[in-house]
Structure formats: structure tokens, C-alpha cells
Chains A and B, each alone.
Chain A
Amino acid sequence: MEDKQIVDLYWERSERAIHETEKKYGRYCHYIAYRILENREDAEEVVNRTYLKAWDTIPPHRPELLKPYMGMLARQLALDCYEKQHAGKRDGTVALAIDELNECVSAPNGDGDPAEALALREALNRFVGALPTKTGKVFILRYWYTCSIAEIAENCDMKESSVSVLLLRTRKKLKAFLIKEGFDL
């Protein structure tokens, strides 16, 4: 079934919307949640919540691309779950990814404000949108999908060492970009 038809089902408040979403994007959402939580049951719980969140947010939203929309919901919910479980201490692939991103900043902790968070999101969109296609894909696979280096290498037909080097360079570029954009690092 096409995304538009599934979204229409949500708008019609048809229960079938959830069945169709599960059929088409269930494994995708599970993948995203599992990469973050690394626990099957927690990932399943998050995927369940993802369907419910989609039910609650469509309408009013009408996503043109349902796949990344579901992925975004799953990622967000998985991250909330992860933070709840790992308050004060971090481990797993997410911790590694965050540690890598901490290289872009000089003070890893501190208080911020919502406006800055929004500005950061916009800046990140500009930054990633301007990256060469392959670099952008590698960056997103690592920091959006939380893929391991080996998985990225497999997905992009690259050597693991090449992936690591590419990510290192991209993080450096990101740091320079954020400084140029006036962020307080």
C-alpha cells in the first residue's frame, strides 16, 4: 500500500492504518529502536509506542514520507527510553556515537535553552544537506540510525577504516561549521 493511502487511513481514523504501517515499516522501526536500546523487548515496546504516537499525531500531521516520519518517532521514543534507563551512566552504541559527537564540542555538559536547540537542529539540517551524498549517508547512518561502523561499511561498500576516517573528518567539519554558525561550544 502506498504511503499516501496509509496516511489517509490514519486520517479516516481506521484501525487498519496501524496494521498497514506495521506491515510496511514495522521492521524498519524495530531496527531503529533496537540499534539504540539493544534489547528486543524494549525495542518492541518502543515500536508499539511508535504506532500509538503515529495514531496520535496523524492527524493533524500529514507526512508525505511516512517511512522517515515513523523512523523519527521510533528514534525519539527509543532515545527517551534509553535516557530513562541510563540516567547518569551511558553504554552501548548510542554512548559511543554521543562520545564521538562530543569531539565537536569543548564542554560536554551544561544548561541550554530551547531556542538554541531549535537553532542547532536547523544548523544540522543545513550541514548534513550540504554534505556530498556518500558522506551524508555515512553520517546519517552513524548518528541518525546509530549503525555500527561495520554495518555502515557493508551498507556503503566501504572499508571500515575508510568509514572511520570519513566520520572523523565530517565531525571536524561539523565542529568548524557550528563555530562559524555562532554556537557556544
Chain B
Amino acid sequence: MTEKNAWETWENTASGRKITGNSIYRELGGLDPALVAQAAPKELSFTASHERSLAEKKKTRGSGRWARWVSLAACLALLLMAGTGLTLWLTREKAAPGNHTVSLGGLRRNYRSTAFSGSEMAFLWPWDEKTLFEKYTRLTFDGKTYEVRDALTGDSSISADLLGEELGSGKAMGHDPYTDKTHTADFAVRKIRGIDEDVLVAAGLDGQFCVYLCRDGRQPATLGELMDTYRLAGVLPLHRFRFTARKDAQTEQAYVLDDDDSLWQILSACREAPLQINGQGPNPSGQSLLQFTATSEALGVYKRAFYISEEGYLWTNLLDYGYEYFIGREAAEKIFSYALTHAEKTDPEPYLFRLAGTLTEIGEGYLCVDDSVLCVDPDEGMVFTVPTDDLRIRRLVSHLRVGDTVRVEFAGSIDTTNGNRVEGVCSVSPGMIRDGEILVNE
């Protein structure tokens, strides 16, 4: 939906007034956002206004900072994607140059600096340069509205073995902000195996399907309803988790668990666990916590949160909004006990892996990136092959030149037996190097 439409749907504006100075003033609130943005006062005006307001000598009303609104929002909110807390070496700014061992999709590298800073490039792509599911983000089917699941940078395509029976045809819609035009297409709609089509369907064209989530669905009232409706035990592996101990919240340990059947059995015994309408978020009281990383192709989610607290609360953002269920302390203890005794310690994993280096070649269907510039010993530099067959990467290539410093984000691994091929590439951004750090252009 365009912001212009959003403005038009803003409640309370058209509340029934004749044309008056007041109504003109109020309805001007619905002006085209582009006009409003163009006319914005200079930045200095904001500062001056802010300083004037600070000069007011009025009694404060307590802690009226936005933080309390944030905490209120957080009650409803999802935590940032599950892996965020793991991004460690990538997010520290100004790390001292030295010797840092990092893991790139399982491949260990010794870099002299591990700090990246700056913002990523974000393009608003023309319609023709968008992928099918970047174009068509909304679907109406059987009287309900579905939104595409943006599992990982716009790609939540689903493989054929997860597709169930054909359900019919739906109307897919997308908006092109360049032309302010709304496009529609007839999408084939299919069931996702075992999952209720009232909540989640696969839709697409020409054998390419993506997961769409119904926005009209009701909240699962019990854990059993959540598990059954979305067939969680079958489609959501609980293999990676972090454990945070109550008394040492600063220390987290990552684990990997081979078999999650027992966990699902324990959870199945908690089917009646009720939804906590006024849940407090994932772990408000700082108890010990198991933080499972929830990635599921069938659900169209990548590294979401599935948390179990020592106190007996299960909290997840699988369905975008945070849902919390009380499974009880006893069940939580069983899960903690099983997970911690059967899992093996492992390295933490970032939300996305990132490698950086010099772009040495732009070939047909691939890029080559040499990371020597970051290595403690430049002779140990490696050349990585970044496939560009995916439109999301291919369209970036015209913005890059051989010799550029680039950063590559990827979700998969590096195949060292196949020219250090990087799997699951999500983005390539140009950057620059200063004192051993990669600065990514804004």
C-alpha cells in the first residue's frame, strides 16, 4: 500500500466537518507525502525547536521517555530475529586491529580486524528488476488476505516436496511506487503439507511458489492449537539453541542438538498451555533461558525466536507477533534437562555470515572476491566465488566494479571443494577500507 493510500485510510480525519479553516488545516494532514517531505524545514529548525522546548521550565511528569512505549510495544513485539544476539564480531565498531579468528559459514579465517560499520545499501528497485515475490506481496484467496513471508531478504520460496494439493487461484497484488501503479496477477494457490490453508498457503506462478501468511487469522488460544494449525513438530526443527544461565546472563553458550523428537513430545504434553494475553515478553525476569533458532521453509521463516524460560514460558515470534504460552515450570525443566544433556557445544552463528574483500573479477554468472586485504597474513588470502544467477544479486552487479571493496552477506556455507563457492548469498554491497576496517557505503 502506498503511503498516500495510508494517509487516506487514516482514521479520525474525516470525522464530519463542514469546510472551515479548521477542516482545511486538518485535511492538509493528508497531503501527498512527497510534497511534505520536499517542504520539510531545515534540520537546524528541529534543533532550535528542541532547544526552545528544553528551555521550558515546567515540572516533569516522570519518566515520560519513549522507552516506556518501547517496552509496551515490546510486550507485543517479536524480539529481533533470533540470531541477532550472535552477530558479535560483525557489529562491534572500532574493534582494535589485531588477530581475530572468525567463522564464515564454518570456514575459519584469521583477520586483522573484524569491525564493520556503516549502513547497507538499500535500493528501491524498479518493477522489472524485482523478483516475482518482491513484486506481489499480497494475495487474496477465498475471501482472505495473505501477505508474503519475507523469510530472508525477500526470498521465501518453497520447495516442491512441501507443496500439497492445489486449492485454486488467488489474486496477487503488488504496488510499483515509481509509477504509483498497482499490478495484479492470478497466482496458483496450493496447500503446504499438513498446514491449515486458513493460515498459511503457498502461491505463485510457473512452478515457483512462496509462502503467504493470512493476516485475518486468529491467535492460537493454546499451544496445542498453535502446534496443530502450523504442524510445528513436523516443520520446525529445534536443533540450534543458545543457553543463558540466570546468574550469568552475560554468558551465552551455543549448542546443537541432533534429535528434537523428545522436545516435541514434552511440548505435546503441554497442549493445553494457554496463550498469555498480557505476556511480558521473552524473559522479563532474567531467568535461565533456552533460545532456539527457528528456521522453517514451510513456515517461511528464517532464524526467528522460539524461547523457553526456566519459569515455564514459551515465547515465539514465528507468526510475526509475539505469542507466549505458559507450559509450566516442570515441563520447562524437562526441556532444559534434555536439551543440555543431549546437545553439543558449538560456535555461535550470526544472523547472516559476512565476508569482505576486493572484487577481483566479474564473470558470467559469478563474482570473485579476494579477502587478502583483511587477513593477518595477506598470503593466506582466499578467493571466493559468489554466484550471481539470483536476480537479487545480479541486479547489484551493475553497481560494482573490479577493484571495489565489497561485503557479501550469505546464509549458507562455503564450498571449499568447488572454488570456495559461497552458498545462499543474500546481498553484495560496495564499501571501503580504512585502517583495516570495512566501511560500507550508505
A16 at interface, CB cutoff 8 A: yes
Q: Which of A63, A69, A105, A129 contacts B35 (CB 8 A)?
A: A129
A113 at interface, CB cutoff 8 A: yes
A92 at interface, CB cutoff 8 A: no
Q: How far is the CA of A44 from the CA of B35 in the complex (A)?
A: 25
B residues in contact with A140, CB < 8 Å:
28, 31, 35-36, 39
Most buried by B among A30, A65, A94: A65
Within 8 A of A (CB), among B314-370: 317, 320-322
A88 at interface, CB cutoff 8 A: no
Q: How far is the CA of A94 from the CA of B68 in the complex (A)?
A: 29
Q: Nearest-CB distance from B290 to chain A (Å)?
A: 21
Interface 9-residue window, one of B1-9, B236-244, B373-381? B1-9
B15 and A117: CB pair below 8 A?
yes
Q: Which of A40, A109, A143, A147 contacts B25 (CB 8 A)?
A: A143
Q: Which of A76, A109, A141 contacts B13 (CB 8 A)?
A: A76
Query: Given A22-B66, A105-B20, does the pair A144, B29 have CB atoms closer than 8 Å?
Result: yes
Q: How large is the interface on B (under 10, 10 to 19, 20 to 34, 35 or more residues)?
A: 35 or more
A52 and B72: CB pair below 8 A?
yes
B residues in contact with A99, CB < 8 Å:
21
B residues in contact with A61, CB < 8 Å:
1, 3, 5-6
B36 and A144: CB pair below 8 A?
yes
Q: Which of B3, B17, B39, B53 contacts A137 (CB 8 A)?
A: B39
Within 8 A of A (CB), among B175-194: 177
B8 and A118: CB pair below 8 A?
yes
A60 and B1: CB pair below 8 A?
yes
Query: Given A15-B73, A128-B31, does the pair A57, B37 have CB atoms closer than 8 Å?
Result: no
B254 at interface, CB cutoff 8 A: no
B18 and A107: CB pair below 8 A?
yes
A52 and B41: CB pair below 8 A?
no
B107 at interface, CB cutoff 8 A: no
Q: Nearest-CB distance from A3 to chain B (Å)?
A: 8
Q: Mark A33-70, 1 if CB is under 8 A from B, else 0.
A: 01100011101110111011001010111111101110
Q: How far is the CA of A4 from the CA of B297 in the complex (A)?
A: 24
A to B CB contacts below 8 Å, 19 in the list: A11-B150, A18-B69, A27-B46, A48-B64, A48-B68, A51-B66, A65-B3, A65-B37, A72-B10, A75-B29, A94-B25, A99-B21, A105-B24, A108-B22, A117-B27, A136-B35, A144-B28, A178-B19, A185-B19
Q: Which 3 pairs across A and B sit closest by C-beta, in order of nearness?
A: A102-B21, A101-B21, A112-B18
Binding site for A on B (CB under 8 A): 1-3, 5-8, 10, 12-42, 45-47, 49-50, 52-54, 56, 58, 60-61, 64-66, 68-70, 72-74, 76-81, 119-122, 124, 137, 147, 150, 177, 215, 317, 320-322, 442
Besides the contacts A14-B77, A69-B7, A72-B33, what 15 more A-B pairs have beta carbons closer than 8 Å?
Answer: A15-B70, A15-B77, A15-B79, A15-B80, A28-B40, A48-B69, A52-B73, A60-B215, A65-B33, A69-B33, A71-B40, A112-B16, A121-B30, A125-B31, A145-B39
